[in-house]
């Protein structure tokens, strides 16, 4: 006998038993069908009532409880208590505040702060704090966030606790900020690359979850140590490779991983930002890190995630120089870095592939987009080409000119508010 159970849409408490007339009608008379409907409907009502009572009780419990018969009920509210988050780094990506005002890039109000202020509004996170190296910047940062976020987004609260104090400079203020958190809370790290490792380690050792921007760290040994410590302390350590969530990139990766394109053979990528970034990042550009760590890390991660059966076996690199130093950067600053990587299939079949990754921070100022970014992946049965600089969304204005916007993330480059 084939029976199909369907919950009535307008009254979920009523359980309907639908049986096709031809199959069931002959075997069930009207009376037995009514008995089944009635029994099931009472059982379902009982279940709904029991679930509702358990839900009500659990809301009054501070934590999970084990009841007689081994039944455990857990308080949703206790379980989902919002975590407190400390943002480490107060620069372009966290606040959009650069060199005394809003960044000239597409991150005029930052990304991390805005997101966390909104998550707090929705009750997903609790207290927010921010830590930099110079407390003197905080009054101006607060003014910038009030003007460009609170006054633009329906009064969104942009308040936060700050470290170090307004009259202090302290490159280790992150320790005090992390000490103020409790195990299970979280930090985000958007600071110059060499500082990611010590800050992350300090937090992990105190059982704080960590989100580190790319590139996670600069040395393989540091990377491995963080994984080890994260396991030991039972915390999440997440690397912010946001290109993985770009719908076009994710689709390309899915096709490659499922083998629809065949065996990996060649990958080429280019990613660049305008020369003005050298001014934004002048505190560390060329000294503490380079443009390959900064931008190539995106496409190397994408390539690696597309080809789990391959591993890189040889890396050579080449760089151009002269533009950044003409602009006043330290002598060791390179303009455009290209990596040439040999990949080998892990199964010993002898299959090889080539990856070429180029990154630059000396692109023209008015290239139409803040970041040029494209790649070409070729395999034995097919290829993909993705150009995510101009995501198919153009906006023009009398004063602003033509812009290629990112409909997945950017806010308006033209005034969004009616004046």
Ligand X SMILES: NC(=O)c1ccc[n+]([C@@H]2O[C@H](COP(=O)([O-])OP(=O)(O)OC[C@H]3O[C@@H](n4cnc5c(N)ncnc54)[C@H](O)[C@@H]3O)[C@@H](O)[C@H]2O)c1
With binding defined as CB under 6 A, does residue 171 bind ligand X?
yes
Residue from 75, 129, 148, 191 in contact with ligand X (CB under 6 A):
191
With binding defined as CB under 6 A, does residue 362 bind ligand X?
no
CA distance linking residue 99 with residue 141, whole number of Å: 11
Instruction: Provide, rounded to whole angstroms, the least separation between the CB of residue 3 and ligand X.
Output: 55
Q: Residues in contact with ligand X, total (CB under 6 A)? A: 25
- Which long-range contacts link 287-291 to residues 24+ away (Cβ below 8 Å)? 287/330, 287/332, 287/333, 288/192, 288/193, 288/194, 289/192, 289/193, 289/194, 289/215, 289/218, 290/333, 290/334, 290/337, 291/334, 291/335, 291/336, 291/337, 291/359, 291/360, 291/361
To which residue do tokens 């976020």 refer? 149
- Which helix (DSSP H) or strand (DSSP E) does residue 212 occupy? strand 209-213
Neighbouring-strand partners of residue 383? 378
CA distance linking residue 110 with residue 90, whole number of Å: 9
- Three-state secondary structure call for residue 363: strand
With binding defined as CB under 6 A, does residue 391 bind ligand X?
no
Q: Which is nearer to ligand X, 133 or 292 (CB)?
A: 133
With binding defined as CB under 6 A, does residue 246 bind ligand X?
no
Q: Which two tokens stand for residue 83?
A: 């975590």
Residue from 58, 75, 90, 296 in contact with ligand X (CB under 6 A):
90
In whole angstroms, how far apart are CA 232 and each of 220, 293, 378?
A: 19, 28, 40
Instruction: Provide, rounded to whole angstroms, the least separation between the CB of residue 305 and ligand X.
Output: 17
With binding defined as CB under 6 A, does residue 190 bind ligand X?
yes
Stretch that binds ligand X, among 188-196, 307-315, 338-346, 352-360 (CB under 6 A): 188-196
Instruction: Provide, rounded to whole angstroms, the least separation between the CB of residue 77 and ligand X.
Output: 33
Q: Which is nearer to ligand X, 217 or 307 (CB)?
A: 217
Stretch that binds ligand X, among 17-25, 187-195, 391-399, 403-411 (CB under 6 A): 187-195
Residue from 75, 133, 272, 388 in contact with ligand X (CB under 6 A):
133
Stretch that binds ligand X, among 1-9, 82-90, 219-227, 312-320 (CB under 6 A): 82-90
Let me know: does 130 contact 96? Beta carbons within 8 Å: no
Per-residue binding string, ligand X, 103-122, x by CB under 6 A, is ----x---------------
With binding defined as CB under 6 A, does residue 185 bind ligand X?
no
Q: Which two tokens stand for residue 165?
A: 């104090």
What Rg value do the Cα atoms of the chain yield, rounded?
A: 28
Which of these, 367, 193, 363, lies nearest to 285 by C-alpha position? 193
Q: Which is nearer to ligand X, 58 or 196 (CB)?
A: 196
With binding defined as CB under 6 A, does residue 310 bind ligand X?
no
With binding defined as CB under 6 A, does residue 377 bind ligand X?
no
Residue from 267, 294, 361, 403 in contact with ligand X (CB under 6 A):
294
Query: Hey, what's the torsion of the CAs at 47, 50, 54, 56, to 10 degrees?
Result: 110
CA distance linking residue 197 with residue 356, whole number of Å: 27
Which of these, 181, 238, 184, lies nearest to 207 by C-alpha position? 184
Residue from 58, 84, 94, 333 in contact with ligand X (CB under 6 A):
94
Stretch that binds ligand X, among 91-99, 345-353, 356-364, 385-393 (CB under 6 A): 91-99
Per-residue binding string, ligand X, 247-286, x by CB under 6 A, is ---------------------------------xx-x---
Stretch that binds ligand X, among 58-66, 92-100, 254-262, 391-399 (CB under 6 A): 92-100
Let me know: does 131 contact 163? Beta carbons within 8 Å: yes
In whole angstroms, how far apart are CA 28 and each of 8, 43, 211?
A: 21, 21, 61
With binding defined as CB under 6 A, does residue 132 bind ligand X?
yes
Binding site for ligand X (CB under 6 A): 88-94, 98, 107, 131-133, 171, 174, 190-193, 195, 213-214, 280-281, 283, 294
């Amino acid at each position: 006998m084939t029976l199909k159970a369907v919950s009535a849409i307008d009254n979920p408490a009523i359980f309907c038993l639908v049986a096709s007339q031809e199959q069931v009608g002959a075997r069930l008379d009207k009376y037995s069908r009514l008995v089944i409907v009635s029994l099931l409907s009472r059982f379902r009502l009982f279940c709904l009532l029991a679930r509702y009572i358990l839900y009500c009780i659990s809301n009054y419990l501070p934590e999970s409880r084990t009841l007689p018969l081994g039944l455990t009920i857990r308080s949703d509210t206790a379980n989902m208590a919002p975590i407190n988050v400390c943002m480490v780094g107060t620069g372009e990506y966290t606040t959009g505040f650069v060199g005394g005002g809003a960044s000239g890039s597409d991150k005029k109000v930052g990304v991390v702060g805005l997101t966390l202020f909104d998550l707090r509004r929705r009750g997903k996170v609790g207290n927010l704090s921010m830590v930099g190296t110079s407390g003197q910047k905080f009054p101006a940062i607060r003014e910038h966030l009030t003007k460009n976020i609170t006054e633009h987004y329906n009064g969104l609260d942009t308040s936060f606790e700050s470290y170090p104090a307004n009259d202090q400079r302290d490159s280790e203020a992150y320790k005090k900020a992390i000490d103020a958190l409790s195990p299970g809370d979280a930090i985000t790290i958007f600071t110059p690359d060499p500082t990611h490792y010590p800050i992350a380690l300090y937090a992990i050792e105190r059982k704080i979850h960590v989100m580190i921007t790319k590139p996670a760290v600069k040395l393989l040994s540091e990377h491995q140590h963080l994984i080890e410590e994260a396991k030991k302390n039972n915390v999440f350590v997440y690397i912010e490779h946001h290109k993985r969530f770009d719908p076009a990139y994710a689709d390309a990766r899915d096709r490659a991983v499922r083998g629809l394109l065949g065996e990996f053979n060649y990958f080429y990528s280019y990613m660049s930002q305008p020369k003005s970034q050298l001014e934004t990042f002048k505190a560390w550009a060329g000294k503490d890190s380079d443009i390959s760590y900064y931008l190539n890390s995106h496409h190397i991660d994408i390539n690696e995630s597309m080809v789990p059966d391959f591993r890189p076996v040889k890396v050579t690199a080449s760089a151009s120089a002269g533009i950044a130093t003409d602009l006043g950067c330290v002598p060791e600053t390179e303009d455009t870095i290209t990596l040439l990587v040999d990949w080998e299939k892990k199964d010993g079949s002898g299959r090889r592939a080539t990856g070429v990754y180029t990154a630059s921070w000396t692109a023209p100022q008015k290239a139409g987009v803040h970041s040029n970014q494209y790649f070409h992946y070729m395999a034995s049965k097919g290829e993909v080409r993705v150009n995510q600089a101009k995501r198919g969304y153009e906006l023009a204005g009398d004063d602003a000119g033509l812009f290629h916007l990112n409909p997945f993330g950017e806010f308006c480059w033209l005034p969004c508010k009616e004046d």
